[in-house]
Amino acid sequence: MKKLNKVREMYWNNEIDTTKLFVDGNSNEFDATVANLMENNRIQAKEIRNLKLEQESQAILLCEVTKEKKKAIEDKAMIEEDKRILANRLEEKSTKLTKISNMQLDTLSQMINANYELNVKDIEITTLKL
């Protein structure tokens, strides 16, 4: 077991020296260790590939979310601009309506005054005929 741990340590430190492993002449243990390390290496390589794929997927998702957020911000700005424009148009319409209402009231007042004047003149004419 000590030898296996030593081989693993050397493997991880990239220091495998095969001459040290054959000192006792038992290559079966070495072969098993190498096979085990190769299997671990294969599993870790597969895990790394999976993590890279997941990272790429997450990056794509982040880009999509960022684009959606940017679009939402732009849409909100457009809506705010539309709101401002509509508020200005409403204010203009309200001002025009107030002016028209005032003009109508002035016209009505003038018509009432003219009608009163006509009634007064009509009474005067009737009074003069008598």
Q: Which two tokens stand for residue 72?
A: 């939402």
The whole model's pTM is what? 0.48
Rounded Cα distance between 53 and 77, Å, is 36
User: What is the phi-psi region of residue 26: left when phi exceeds 0, alpha when psi lies from -120 to 50, beta otherwise?
Assistant: beta
Q: Which domain holds residue 71?
A: 2-129
pLDDT digits (tens, 9 = 90+) for 57-91: 999 999 999 999 999 999 999 999 999 999 999 99
Distances (CA, A) of 69 to 66, 79, 117, 127: 5, 15, 71, 85
pLDDT digits (tens, 9 = 90+) for 16-29: 555 555 555 567 77
Contacts of 50 (CB under 8 A, 6+ apart): none
CB 37 within 8 A of CB 10: no
* Number of separate domains in the chain: 1
Rounded Cα distance between 50 and 83, Å, is 49
